[in-house]
Structure 1
Amino acid sequence: MKRAERLHALSEMLRRSGTRGVSAERLAGAFEVSVRTIKRDLDALENSGAPVWSRPGPGGGYGLAAGGSLPPVTLSPAQAVALLAAVSAAPDAPYADQAAAAIHKILDVLDPATRARADELAHRVWVKALPASSRAIKSALDEAMADQRVVRIRYTSKDGTSTDRDVEPVLFAATNGQWYLVGWCRLRNAMRWFAVPRIERAGVTATACSGHTIEEVGEPPAQARPVHARAVQARTVQPRTVQARGPASR
């Protein structure tokens, strides 16, 4: 186990010990290192801002003060750039801007040397950025989904027909390298799949959604999962639905 990983695991073990605390000998045994190494790790945690306390004597040990916050997780330069690359390479994914902001918060608390190495490595990874108009549309769709409000879109179907529609967002889905907004179309009075690249305009209204559910879209196929249950391998949702007719074209 690398030291950064051990420090995080050590802080978690101290937190779980509560007011009882845990001895340096027990910590050393748990991590298969020397007591001297554990004490250096405890000093490093305390210097990073973790509220470590110690109680000397028989029955004493170490712990974290109640209500104290843990120090930020330490990333290697490669791990930091991997997060940046993953988000930057998928700018059309839902909440990509929020993910980028979260990653920059993590970068801001890295130690200066690691941050400098991450910045240098990041210059060796190039991606294509979305145009400003697409980012504005994505932002409106993200907001409508999060707040469960009706979004008004200008949509162009495959045959070139453009229509204005009020849509109640239900979920985002990716298939064949393209993102879709799946929602209840008030114009067609049915569930529809809207290819995000074919949405020309989008604006969030003040109207709350009426309560259409994911179950109305249908069950995803066996190889598809919601993002919270995804495995490490990249997977995409195939549009197999109960009431939806696939990507909207009319």
Structure 2
Amino acid sequence: MKRTERLHALSELLRRSGRRGCSAERLASEFGVSVRTIKRDLAALDDSGVPVWSKPGPGGGYGLAPGSTLPPITLTPAQAVALLAAVSAAPDAPYADLATAGVRKILDVLDPRTRARAEELAGRVWVNNPTPSTRAVRSALEQAMTDQRVVRIRYLSGAGETSTRDVEPVTFAQVHGNWHLVGWCRLREAMRWFRVARIEAAHVTATPCTGHGIEELGAPPPTARPVFS
């Protein structure tokens, strides 16, 4: 990782750590550099106007001053293409359309030179995806999850049987490349997994969910993790 990219990532990590801060040793381990290098990076951030605080002694570390904001961060061409590749490779992911719109907003404010380099590099990254489920279905599922409302779906099972279910959405989960809506099925009175590609229709009702939580699914496999962690 180039130093400029490391400084950007370092400031973001400090921002996410909040009031707890991070020790120099942890930061060095995170970026695979020496503690001395991290301290030089922290000094560089402070010199550039990033409000870094430090607390010496056991339990001490580094963080950002409360209420502070970071100066605007410019993406490198590779970072911009990484975002493009991620959203392009997963058109069936939850909120994919919103992710694409967000990335486009970021690209629109890049300086012309960086954008030109990003566009040239993006031409060297291709994706070839199957057609995702209909936009109407995905939009309804996303709205139901966001608003925590019961969603009524018409579902085609693996055995070819069609049923109508009222589902309280709990989470979206990807397993072996397939996205699923996981929620409390009011018909079966149990948690059920519904492959999104098999949901033929979806309608958000006015009925609020009753509070079923992700803990009811049990422990996730060791390879699973939230998208923001």
Secondary structure of the residue aligned to 1:171 is strand
The correspondence of residues 4-43 of structure 1 with structure 2, limited to 5 A, is: 6=7, 31=40
Q: 1:12 to 1:87 in 2, by over 3 A?
A: closer
- Secondary structure, aligned partner of 2:223: coil
**CA distance, structure 2, for counterparts of residue 139 and residue 133 of structure 1:** 10
Q: How many residues align?
A: 193
Matched residue SS, 1:136: helix
Structure 1 position 79, deviation (Å): 1.3
Residue in structure 2 matched with residue 2 of structure 1 by the alignment: 3
Moved more, 216-225 or 154-163: 216-225
Give the SS at the match of 1:74. Answer: coil
Structure 1 partner of 2:118: 118
Query: Does 1:204 find its partner at 2:204?
Result: yes
Q: Residues 73 and 192 from structure 1, CA distance in 2 versus in 1: closer, same or farther, beyond 3 angstroms?
A: same
Letter in 1 for 2:117: R
Q: Matched residues, percent identical?
A: 62
Displacement of 1:130: 6.3
Distance 1:11 1:187, change over 3 A: closer
Alignment of 1:184 with 2:155, yes or no, is: no
Whole-angstrom CA distance in 1 between matches of 2:103 and 2:82: 10
Q: 1:187 to 1:177 in 2, by over 3 A?
A: same
Distance 2:222 2:13 in 1: 35
Cα distance change, pair 2–163 in 1 and its aligned pair in 2 (3 A): same
Q: SS where residue 127 of structure 2 aligns?
A: coil
Query: Is the Cα contact below 8 Å between 1:74 and 1:110 reproduced in 2?
Result: yes
Q: How far apart in 2 are the matches of 1:87 and 1:222?
A: 24
Q: How does 1:82-231 map to 2 (within 5 A)?
A: 82-128=82-128, 131=131, 134-229=134-229
Alignment of 1:64-75 (within 5 A): 70-75=70-75
Structure 1 distance, partners of 2:13, 2:174, is 36
How far, CA to CA, are the matches of 1:228 and 1:4 in structure 2?
20
Change (3 A) 1:8 1:198: closer
Instruction: State the alpha-carbon separation in 2 of the partners of residues 200 and 226 from structure 1.
Output: 27
Instruction: Give, in angstroms, the shift of residue 87 of structure 1.
Output: 1.2
RMSD of Structure 2 on Structure 1 (CA): 3.5
CA–CA distance in structure 2, aligned partners of residues 210 and 162 of structure 1: 26
Gap change, CA 1:128 and 1:169, over 3 Å in 2: same
* Cα distance, 1:3 vs structure 2: 4.0
Q: 1:2 Cα shift? A: 3.1
Cα shift at 1:198: 0.5
Counterpart code for 2:91: P
Determine the C-alpha separation between the residues in 2 that align with 1:129 and 1:222: 27
User: Contact 1:171/1:183 (CA < 8 Å) preserved in 2?
Assistant: yes
Closer/same/farther in 2, CA of residues 12 and 145 from structure 1, 3 Å limit = closer
Give the 3 Å change call, closer, same or farther, for CA 128–152 of structure 1 in structure 2.
farther
Q: Is the 8 A contact 1:72 1:109 kept in 2?
A: no
**When the two structures are superposed, what TM-score results if normalisation uses the length of structure 1?**
0.65
Q: Indicate if the aligned counterparts of 2:149 and 2:206 stay in contact, CA closer than 8 A.
A: yes
1:8 Cα deviation from its structure 2 partner: 8.1
Per-residue deviation, 1:143: 1.3
Q: Distance in 2 between matches of 1:192 and 1:167?
A: 9
Alignment CA distance shift 1:82-1:143 (3 Å): same
C-alpha contact 1:85 1:125 (8 A) present in aligned 2: yes
Deviation at 1:131, TM superposition (A): 4.5
C-alpha separation in 2, matches of 1:148 and 1:133: 21
CA distance in 2, matches of 1:10, 1:150: 40
Q: Find the residue that maps to 1:227 and give its secondary structure.
A: coil
Give 3-state SS (helix, strand or coil) of 2:228's partner. Answer: helix
